[in-house]
Amino acid sequence: MGICRSILIVLAALLLLPGSALPAQRNACLICHRPHHAEQGNCVGCHRGNDRTNRREIAHHDLIVGRFAHFTLKGSPIVVRGKELLEVLACRRCHVYEKKGNRLATDLAMLARSVGPQAIFDSIRSPVLLMPNFHLDDGQLAALVNAILGETESAGAGAPETARVVHFEAGKRAEENVFVKQCGPCHKLLSERFGGLGNGDIGPNLSGLLSEYYPNTYRDTEPWTTGKLMKWLENPRNMRANARMKPVRLAIGDFVLLMQTIRINLEVYTEKEVMNVP
Ligand code: HEC
Ligand code: HEC
Ligand code: HEC
Ligand code: HEC
């Protein structure tokens, strides 16, 4: 009985110890690191990881390293730079970012929930076949990753919206597509209706052409329209003195099929309807 009581007293005394003295409540990151940005949050709030252990590998699990952590600072110039790059490089002609953009590929805001920052970095540096290689340096890539992580934070919870791209059931139909035959040797296209088409790299990737997110490359700063594309195909040199692309002559029926392949959110099908879309 006496022994039991003294054990209980010891236990009670342990429970009454001030919280800070219990190892489980200390920020174990501070065993190895000095604090910084303390006024703006705590270590795991900005870097993730596990602050309940003194073992580095466990403490660093899922860690956001310094160069990808800038999005946690308010008004970070690196995030601003990343957003500028997203704009200039027109990522939105394929991806949704800040709820704007074509749904041809993953919504960038949803990405960081399933993929780590380094994997995002790597997939922009070494992109999949249908995504252009922008040949960016490490600083530009890190800025883009920070802009994507920052957007993930502010997007909040919600069901991820899937890309709208449909894929050919059989390769044969893809080969018959007018884009594949007439443009595919020099261009690539991620199309909403038929998935990835073409395999050329001589000309630019045309995904999202004629949508508001494609860069305004027609005569410097003008957006592309159906009519302008038609003129361009008749003779690119009339539009750009030193264009390398040669004229491509298409029967009107093929041009309509081309529009139905290239355009996004196009719910019209007859020749007249297609030609009337600006
Ligand atoms: C046992 C010691 C130890 C603990 C505990 C520890 N770290 Fe580290 N940390 C290191 C060492 C050593 C490095 C440098 C080598 C490396 O990157 O692994 C480092 C590097 C880092 C880096 C920089 C990586 C980069 O390249 O930018 C960050 C950020 C970091 N730690 C955050 C944390 C956070 C947050 C915690 C707590 C959740 C933590 N660390 C806990 C030892 C530790
Ligand atoms: C408000 C967000 C924030 C908090 C809180 C924060 N960090 Fe950082 N950390 C960053 C950012 C951003 C960087 C990138 C360089 C910079 O701006 O300081 C960074 C960089 C680092 C680095 C890389 C080396 C360096 O100084 O560049 C280490 C290590 C690190 N943090 C550890 C920690 C630890 C440990 C804590 C908790 C004591 C912590 N950080 C708290 C945002 C934060
Ligand atoms: C021509 C279309 C296109 C453009 C432009 C484009 N991407 Fe992509 N991107 C893709 C495709 C296709 C994939 C792979 C499939 C998917 O993720 O939907 C992809 C994948 C990614 C991934 C990896 C996604 C994952 O699931 O792991 C990241 C990150 C990414 N893109 C970022 C960017 C950024 C940043 C830009 C602008 C600098 C950009 N992309 C421009 C088409 C494009
Ligand atoms: C033999 C190669 C070749 C073929 C075939 C070809 N193009 Fe091009 N295209 C190019 C090249 C090279 C450029 C780059 C601009 C230039 O001409 O200097 C280009 C540029 C373009 C541009 C301008 C894009 C921009 O943002 O500046 C459009 C639009 C375009 N092509 C559409 C098409 C379409 C549609 C087809 C098929 C009907 C097609 N091209 C067939 C080589 C080709």
Q: What is the pTM of this model?
A: 0.90
Residues in contact with ligand 2 by the CB-under-6-Å rule are 29-30, 33, 35-37, 40-43, 45-47, 66, 69-70, 72-73
Among residues 127, 155, 183, the one where a domain terminates is 155
CATH number of the domain within which 190 lies: 1.10.760
Q: What are phi and psi of 253, to 5 degrees?
A: -60, -40
Residue 248 lies in a domain: yes
**Tokens (6 digits) for 92:** 């939105």
* Predicted confidence (pLDDT) per residue in 53-72, tens digit: 999 999 999 999 999 999 99
pLDDT < 70 stretches in the chain: 1-25, 155-174
Distance separating alpha carbons of residues 72 and 75, to the nearest angstrom: 9
Look at residue 166 in the predicted model and tell me its pLDDT.
Answer: 62
**Burial degree of 9 (CB within 10 A; 0-12, 13-18, 19+):** exposed
Measuring from atom 27 of ligand 4, which residue has the nearest CA?
Answer: 217
Distance separating alpha carbons of residues 35 and 56, to the nearest angstrom: 16
Examine the domain organization and report whether 149 and 192 are in the same domain. Answer: no
Distance separating alpha carbons of residues 220 and 43, to the nearest angstrom: 47
Examine the domain organization and report whether 226 and 254 are in the same domain. Answer: yes
Among residues 107, 123, 155, the one where a domain terminates is 155
Examine the domain organization and report whether 150 and 199 are in the same domain. Answer: no
**Who contacts 16 (Cβ-Cβ below 8 Å, separation ≥6)?**
none
Look at residue 161 in the predicted model and tell me its pLDDT.
Answer: 61
Overall number of domains in the chain: 2
CA torsion 76-80-81-83 (nearest 10°) is 140
C-alpha of 120 from chain center: 8
| Residue 267, domain extent | 172-275
User: Which atom of ligand 4 is least distant from the CA of 215?
Assistant: 26
Residue 38 lies in a domain: no
CATH number of the domain within which 129 lies: 1.10.760.10
Among residues 104, 130, 155, the one where a domain terminates is 155
Look at residue 208 in the predicted model and tell me its pLDDT.
Answer: 97
Look at residue 155 in the predicted model and tell me its pLDDT.
Answer: 67
Examine the domain organization and report whether 193 and 150 are in the same domain. Answer: no
Examine the domain organization and report whether 125 and 177 are in the same domain. Answer: no
**Distance from residue 53's CA to the centre of ligand 1 (Å):** 12
C-beta of 132 in contact with ligand 3 (< 6 A): yes
Q: Are the C-beta atoms of residues 128 and 91 closer than 8 Å to each other?
A: no
Residue 48 lies in a domain: no
Examine the domain organization and report whether 151 and 177 are in the same domain. Answer: no
208 secondary structure, DSSP code: T
**Burial degree of 242 (CB within 10 A; 0-12, 13-18, 19+):** exposed
Look at residue 164 in the predicted model and tell me its pLDDT.
Answer: 66
Look at residue 275 in the predicted model and tell me its pLDDT.
Answer: 81
Residue 145 lies in a domain: yes
Examine the domain organization and report whether 151 and 183 are in the same domain. Answer: no
User: Which atom of ligand 1 is least distant from the CA of 50?
Assistant: 38
Look at residue 158 in the predicted model and tell me its pLDDT.
Answer: 60
